[in-house]
Every structure is written in structure tokens, then in C-alpha cells.
Structure 1
């Protein structure tokens, strides 16, 4: 039996509320099949909420107190959490956890906590994409970068070809792996890509990218059906995205790249590097298959951020 005290016994709340929290956590774990980390995060969120209410209301809250809450009470809780250093994204997650508990109470006939629905979710600033440098992106798409590995040459060339498509054509990893053998591009050709929502786009293929795919096809030990997958695994079946993600993890270690250097970061790199070289924003939108220009415009912020970083590092008056 564990000597660790149950954290709920330390929460200043009425026994009826504590009992409801226990049932809710059990529901999350056994019926919703939430991960242990999610259950623990939700437990922590509600514990903080109830502890705040005890001070805010002047006494441990009971179920009628929860039902009587007003939006200003919930906003006061969020303000208190914000003052402790939480950002907008974390505040949104906290509110989601508390709302889950409120919905559980309502479904079980223990009162409506309408104030939780009345408060808007804090809007988080969109996270800027984190592209790789041009040199790192090129190294990632070069099979020689992984020459130190005891892997079959065709596997290393295959992985490099997939990553070259992500960087050289701005493809999502799912789009690269969905290509059929008959769609293998020739130098100077274009790929017809079906992206999210069934939206199709034409993407030109650089000679370097096409050459990488040609090298892979020459080395691949399996006969490839024209209507079968272009990229196959070591047993000849469709290549799993997980294999490319693991290859990228190896490259991160070899090149000293951050955890944000994922296959999808190569798509970000494609857009950012085109923009930095004077690429037209609407053309980049078409190449990426974005439905809205506003989605593509995030790369202008990335470009500006990198420009200012270079300015601060190099200009003699930047630190004066």
C-alpha cells in the first residue's frame, strides 16, 4: 500500500464535491480511456480550481456553490492562474479540464455549472513554425549524412528521398508516402498532390529531388507495382511514417538539431526559404495547398523574426 497521500484529501472542498471528483477521475480513466498523464493533468486542474474557490468564496465549496458560480468567478480563477505564469495555451488547457468536470456533474444530475460554458477559452497566439537552416535542411535530405549507420544503403537512400520531397516540394510526410510508383517524377516534371480535404495541387520537382528518387528506385530490392506505393519498407510493404520520424530523430542527434526538427519542419523550411529568397506569397500558398492566404502568412512572421535575430547579432548599434 502506498504511503503517498491522496492529493484530493488535501483539497478544501465539501465531501460531496470530493466524491464527485473521484467518480469523474474514474470515468476518465476507465470509460474514456484517457492516458494517466491526462488524468493527472485534469486532477491537478480541478484541485487548483477548488482550492481557489475555497479562498474566493471564503469556505470550502459544495455542489450548490459550484452551480451558483458566475462567469466573473471563473474569470477570477483564470486571472489568478495567469498571474502565476501560465500562458494562454496553458490557461485554455486548464479551463478544458475544469469544464470536463462540470459536464460530468451535469450528466450525472449533480447541477449545472453554466459559468464554465459562459467564459470564452483564452486565445493562444499561434506558434510560429520552426524551420531548419538551409544547410541543415540540405544535410537532412542527403543520404551520406547517415553513412555512419549500419543500415542497408537502399534504406538510407529511400529515407533521404522522402525527406527531400518534404523539403524540396513542401510535402507533408503523408503526402510523400501516398505517392504511387507510377507517379515517380522525372526531372523537371510536376507532382499532382492530393492534400487535406481532398484539395489537389501541382508541385514542380527539382532535379535534385527527382535524382534522389531515381537513386532509390535503382537500389530498391523489391519489384514495385505501378499502382502500389512508391516507398516501401524493409519487408516490401508500405513505408510507415514512423520510420521516417525515427530517421529524423537519428539525424537530429547527428547534426545537433532541436526536437522541433521533424519531417514536418522540412515543409516549414521549404516555405520559409522560398519567402526569404523573394518567393511570392500566393505562389507559396498554392505550392503548400493552403486554403487561406492567412495560413501561409505565418511564414512572413518567421522570416521577420529571423531577420531581426540576424540584425541583433550583427549590427554594431543593436546592443548599444
Structure 2
């Protein structure tokens, strides 16, 4: 018996081997998709799943995405629409793989969406290296605390911020790390089944290694038998009690608090460090294929965005034609465009 759209969605969400956060996002996306279907006269509760078409997905994206995003709010709305689109496409792929919709072609859907890509491609967030370095320097300058619990938290903050900045880990990847995933002797992080279930290696420097070691020592990891199973970062850890893995919302709130304390007016999130690293790698002329592997980009087009964003050759020739740029005096340092980005 052919399931209804609603039944197929429920089965898809129950059987999907994805992180709880991704499942929650896909559930929101498919709820929005069902609302779109109802506006089109198709009731997900009664309509068979075979009633779904490629036009339903295209119409869903067209209805949600701004036609020509200009403001930050419009760009944000576009990003949300693309996130929801990813959930719907994953559902359509499930229908095809499970033979629930024999006439559905995900290849044709991909071609239709590819033809629309130019219209629905948001720019990456504009992240200035100066802002990230200012936050990093602020964290590194935090004075040692006399109370062991407060000193433990300070060390955790330093290690967490440095690891985000040097590796470009996604927030979910950071929170899922165990000590066994981090090799201090090689300076590597093994990301096990990151986005799209892809694993990869990424790297960090000596300063980050020392910060991690200082945090783990203050946490008292040596008193535990199998330290490899301990979370790399704990949510609420006390000396001698590593605790449970840190939660994404905790990291988000922490970075927001640190950015405010550092005097930054530009919004900084955990993902800002990822964008900052990708931009810096491209600026230093690291090969695109290497950047793609380090960042875990499934699509080379994602890496290419940063190549366009960092266009130093164009800037150099412009300055050669019109002279070096001399910024006006009396301007606040915060929020001013970085001429090197």
C-alpha cells in the first residue's frame, strides 16, 4: 500500500541516521514543505506520496527565497530557505532509494535546481580576520584564576576558541569530539562522520595543543582510566569530573559573550571561525582542492565562493591604478572593512 506524504515523512525521520540537531532541522523543513503543499491543494495527510513532483520542490524554494536578496534579513531568509531545501531534497532521495515513488527522478530535480543556482546563491558571511584575532587575543589575555573551577573554565575557553580558529570545525563536529579524536603528537583532529557522514582529518598548531593539554590536566583526566572516551570539551566540568559533552547552544552563547566582552560590534558565531579559516587559506594561496578537504566541503562550488571573496589580484591592480588607500582619520576600528580581505 502506498503511504501518504505524512506517513512517508514520519518514516523518513524515524529511520534517518542523522544527528538529533539535523533531524530537528529536517522536521522543521518538512513541516514548512507540507504547509506549502496544502496551499497548492495537496493534503499531506491523505495524498499518496506518488503525488509529489519536482515542481513542488521548485515552487517551495521560489516561494520562500527572496528574489533578489540585498539586506541582511533577506540573505538570512535565503539561507533558511536553502537549509529547508536540503531537508526536502534528502526526503526526495529517501523516496527514490526506498522505491516509494518509482517515477521520481532526483537527477532531474538536481538539474532544475542547478539552473536556478545563480538566483539562489547567498554570499558567505563577511568575516574580518581582525575581529577574529581580536577575540582570540582577548581570550588568551584572560588572567589565571585562583579558584580551581574558574581556572578550569578559563582554560577550556582558551582551548575551545583556539581549536575552532585553527581547524574550522563545524559546531556539531566540535561538540562530538572525544579525546581519542585529537592527536597531540601529530597535531590532528579526526572528524568522524561529519556533515554528510564524511570523515576527514584537520590540523592545528602547537599553541592549540598546549591549550588543550592544559585544559585536560586541570580537568583531572589522568585520574580516569580510558581518557580517550572522555569528551574533548565538557559542558559543566569540575576538577576531577569531566562531565558530559558540551552542547552546541552552550558554545554559541559562550562565543557571543566573549565577542561582547572583547568589544566587538560585528556578530561573531562559532561558524565565523570556519569562514575565517577558509578565507585565510585561500588568501595564502592554498590550493582549492586542499581547502576543500580541510573544510570538508562536499561541493567544490562551496570552496570557490571563498576564492571569489578573496580577490587580492583585483585589489592590487586597482590600487596600482588609483593609488594606495589611506583610511580617514577618526573612524572606529570595529566594523571597518579590512583592505586585505
Provide Cα deviations, 1:74-93, integer angstroms capped at 9, x if missing partner: xxxx9xx989x989947987
Q: Structure 1 CA distance, aligned partners of 2:177 and 2:170?
A: 11
Q: Structure 1 CA distance, aligned partners of 2:294 and 2:139?
A: 25
* Aligned 8 A contact 1:167 1:266 in 2: yes
Give the gaps of 5 or more residues in structure 2: 1-27, 40-62, 82-115, 238-242, 327-341
Q: Does 1:234 align with 2:226?
A: no
* Aligned 8 A contact 2:179 2:230 in 1: yes
Q: Does 1:123 align with 2:119?
A: yes
TM-score of the pair, normalised by structure 2: 0.52
Offset at 1:272? 0.9
Residue pairs, 1:93-242, within 5 angstroms: 123-133=119-129, 136-137=132-133, 139-140=135-136, 143-147=139-143, 152-194=150-192, 195-221=194-220, 225-235=227-237, 236-242=243-249
Query: How many matched pairs?
Result: 219
> For 1:297, what is the secondary structure of its paired residue?
helix
**Alignment CA distance shift 1:309-1:175 (3 Å):** farther
**Alignment CA distance shift 1:198-1:317 (3 Å):** closer
**Alignment CA distance shift 1:86-1:232 (3 Å):** closer
1:286 to 293, 302, 306: 293
Offset at 1:172? 1.0
* Aligned 8 A contact 2:163 2:208 in 1: yes
Q: Structure 2 CA distance, aligned partners of 1:233 and 1:293?
A: 35
Q: Which has the larger radius of gyration?
A: 1
1:260 to 258, 262, 267: 267
TM-score of the pair, normalised by structure 1: 0.55
1:297 to 304, 309, 318: 304
Offset at 1:179? 1.3
Offset at 1:243? 2.1
Q: Structure 2 CA distance, aligned partners of 1:158 and 1:132?
A: 24
- Let me know the Cα RMSD of the aligned residues: 4.4
**Alignment CA distance shift 1:87-1:123 (3 Å):** farther
Q: Structure 2 CA distance, aligned partners of 1:181 and 1:253?
A: 30
> For 1:171, what is the secondary structure of its paired residue?
coil
**Alignment CA distance shift 1:219-1:126 (3 Å):** same
Q: Structure 2 CA distance, aligned partners of 1:82 and 1:177?
A: 36
* Aligned 8 A contact 1:82 1:91 in 2: no
Provide Cα deviations, 1:122-174, integer angstroms capped at 9, x if missing partner: 93341223223157336427643444999812112112212212111111122
* Aligned 8 A contact 2:182 2:188 in 1: no
Give the gaps of 5 or more residues in structure 1: 1-33, 47-77, 97-119
* Aligned 8 A contact 2:127 2:272 in 1: yes
